[in-house]
Amino acid sequence: MGFFNLLHAQTTQKFSVLKGDYLGQTHPGDTPVVFALGIISVDSTIEHGAPTFSPDGNTVFWQSNLRHQDKETEIFLKTMHRKIGQWTAP
């Protein structure tokens, strides 16, 4: 799948309704787990940075790195916002 097809698939896929703190995910604990699988961690071929939440908990930021075979890397800063209790798509 070409890059533009991949980008189009990510932006047009149906997005689940997410509500609550931490995108509705289980709150962080002492055992490491993949956070927000299918939301932030969407593909094993794309490197994802750790998500960072704003102090009020209504915005989350993370970085995704897409490495190409020719060693070129595209870097994306992604964000989601909680509006009226529901999280927007990335």
Q: Residue 15: phi, psi to the nearest 5?
A: -115, 130
- Name residue, tokens 């689940």: 16
Domain residues for 15?
3-87
Residue 83 has pLDDT above 60, yes or no: yes
Reported pTM = 0.71
pLDDT at 12: 44
Structural domains counted in the chain: 1
pLDDT at 81: 96
